[in-house]
Structure 1
Amino acid sequence: MQTVTSTDGTDIAFEQHGDGPPLILLHGGSAPQYWRPVIPRFAEDYTVIVPHRRGVGESGDSDEYTLSRGAEDVRAVIDAVDDDPILFGHSFGGLLAIETARTASVEKLVAYEPAVLVGEYREQADLASQMQARIDDGEPRQAMKFYVREVMHGGDIDDLDGWLAEWPPWPDIVALTENIARINRAIEGYRLPESLDITAPTLLLTGTEGPPHLRDGIRAVDAALPGDHLLEIEGVGHGGPAEAPGRVIPKVRSFIERQETVAPESSR
């Protein structure tokens, strides 16, 4: 494990695997262990770097958290590696990757269902406050169940307990409940610009089984970038990169290993 110091003095830890051009994997509302099924698929050809988000894993923490502070943490990791990295973010990590790529030099950008809320859903979003109410009532497990139902399943699943019993992060992820509530406050406060000033070649990924509000969000991100960047993967949900790496990662590798810098064709 290595560490870097972010702008405000907080230590940000990161793992490093393999050898080759740098590829930074940014986890979402789960732990950095989310990427375990993905790392072996890149480590033979890339130096895979997995930062631990502030307040998670081996990283330090602070009283205040904002999206811009999270991007500063990612930039601190970028500054510590050789060459411009490829950024690959999932969910909130996808939003961090997008915001970081607006100000940092990156080779390429990949975001799987970034946590971008738009339209009526954004105006009514109160996931953070509903999680916090359950936390304040001494029910972090119920807060996490509420989060999983909304974010992973778009609020619609018949047997959540049965699904959780088969979900590898459960129940350890309950320990991250307060951290996840605060990143949702950052997500709900974010407003997508009409245009994104990102020059790096970009791939946006979504699964056809992903939650509708995040699928709306990624289409809005695509519209804010010049050209077509969106690729939909049939039958895959929000956990796609780790839960279906055999479906998702070949598409990511195909994009990042292409020599040309034109945007990928949309599958819409």
Structure 2
Amino acid sequence: MKTARSKDGTMLAYDVHGSGPALIYITGASCFRSFKPIRQDAREFAKEFTVYSYDRRGRGDSGDTPPYSVEREVDDIEAMIDAAGGRANLYGHSSGAVLALEAALRLGDKVNRVVMYDPAYVHDEAEKLTYGQLGQKVQKLLDGGKNKEAMISFLKGIGMPGIFVWLLPLFPGWKTMVALAPTLAYDIALTRDLPPVDRAAQVAVPTQVIVGEKSPAGMRDVAGQLTKAIPGARFELLAGQDHMVSAKALLPVLSRFLKQ
């Protein structure tokens, strides 16, 4: 484990895998760097890149400094880029893709290229309403110290299959997931609004938007909106993949775009 410090003093834990161009891996909700699927992703990406896999603030071995803001999470990404030598590519998944977009807007020349997979904004006003209700339910549970219930409610609310949610407590990382449940409020804050197409039009970093062929229709809609808004953005529909994308299927796409 290595550590870096963000601008507000928050300690960030990260691992480095592989060799090649630097790639900062920005995970989505309920993920942390030692979670088995994330470790597997990082090792697969390490076949082509030097992968910086870090615990977002409030997760795993990283610290946290209230109050939360998107700007502070972007500062965390900047700290990881600095740890990687001052410039890096970004790969963000789900709410991590939202952060990758924000970093592209705010960090300028420090970002070489950006790949977003299934950026998890709400896609229309109806979803914004129902997601807002889910956010209120999750926050009430968190305020009551009911982390387990909050995590389960969130995962069910975003459409994770019931059988998978039922099996999660059997996974080795479940206790850590429950411990990081308060960060669900961070992910909800990132994804509760419609895609910021006006701001996305200001992105000057080469960008690729990828969505799974089997991902929810709303995510495919969001991916289309962002691709149209971001100047010169590339789009790819990844055949056979859903929101839990296979790193083996994704790696050739990352390599083609990021190694140009």
Q: TM class by shorter-chain length?
A: 0.7 to 0.9
Query: 1:206–1:189: structure 2 CA closer, same or farther, 3 Å change rule?
Result: closer
Which SS does the other structure have where 1:129 is aligned? helix
Q: Shift in Å at residue 62 of structure 1? A: 1.1
Structure 2 counterpart of 1:205: 210
Which SS does the other structure have where 1:235 is aligned? coil
Out of 241, 253, 256, the position equivalent to 2:255 is 253
CA contact (8 A) 1:116 1:218 kept: no
Whether 1:122 and 2:128 are equivalent positions in the alignment is yes
Q: Shift in Å at residue 238 of structure 1? A: 1.1
Query: 1:142–1:212: structure 2 CA closer, same or farther, 3 Å change rule?
Result: farther
- The CA distance in 1 between the partners of 2:47 and 2:151, in whole Å, is 35
CA contact (8 A) 2:204 2:231 kept: no
- The CA distance in 2 between the partners of 1:171 and 1:47, in whole Å, is 29
Q: Shift in Å at residue 139 of structure 1? A: 3.5
Structure 2 counterpart of 1:90: 93
- The CA distance in 2 between the partners of 1:161 and 1:83, in whole Å, is 39
Structure 2 counterpart of 1:31: 32
Amino acid at match of 1:7: K
Give the TM-score normalised by structure 1: 0.83
Runs of 4+ off more than 6 Å: 165-168
Query: 1:83–1:6: structure 2 CA closer, same or farther, 3 Å change rule?
Result: closer
CA contact (8 A) 2:212 2:242 kept: yes
CA contact (8 A) 2:155 2:165 kept: no
Structure 2 counterpart of 1:148: 155
CA contact (8 A) 1:152 1:239 kept: no
CA contact (8 A) 2:209 2:233 kept: no
Query: 1:150–1:210: structure 2 CA closer, same or farther, 3 Å change rule?
Result: farther
1:116-147 per-position Cα deviation (integer Å, ceiling 9, x unaligned) = 22321225532321112233455432321221
Q: Shift in Å at residue 195 of structure 1? A: 4.3
- The CA distance in 2 between the partners of 1:15 and 1:74, in whole Å, is 14
Amino acid at match of 2:131: A
Structure 2 counterpart of 1:266: none
CA contact (8 A) 1:66 1:186 kept: no
Query: 1:189–1:162: structure 2 CA closer, same or farther, 3 Å change rule?
Result: closer
- The CA distance in 2 between the partners of 1:239 and 1:168, in whole Å, is 18
Mapping of residues 104-183 of structure 1, within 5 Å:
104=107, 105=109, 106-120=111-125, 121-126=127-132, 127-153=134-160, 157=161, 159-161=163-165, 164=168, 169-170=173-174, 172-183=176-187
Structure 2 counterpart of 1:57: 60
Structure 1 counterpart of 2:6: 6
Q: Shift in Å at residue 99 of structure 1? A: 0.5
Unaligned runs of 5+ in 1: 260-268
Cα RMSD between the aligned structures?
2.5
1:79-107 per-position Cα deviation (integer Å, ceiling 9, x unaligned) = 23225211001111111111001122212
Query: 1:170–1:208: structure 2 CA closer, same or farther, 3 Å change rule?
Result: farther
Give the TM-score normalised by structure 2: 0.85
Unaligned runs of 5+ in 2: none
Q: Shift in Å at residue 2 of structure 1? A: 2.3
- The CA distance in 2 between the partners of 1:185 and 1:141, in whole Å, is 20
CA contact (8 A) 1:152 1:238 kept: no
Amino acid at match of 1:35: I
Out of 184, 189, 192, the position equivalent to 2:188 is 184
Which SS does the other structure have where 1:32 is aligned? coil
Which SS does the other structure have where 1:49 is aligned? strand
- The CA distance in 2 between the partners of 1:168 and 1:210, in whole Å, is 26
CA contact (8 A) 2:3 2:12 kept: yes
Q: Which structure is higher in helix share?
A: 2
State the percentage of identical aligned residues: 30
* Paired residues, number: 252
Structure 2 counterpart of 1:20: 20
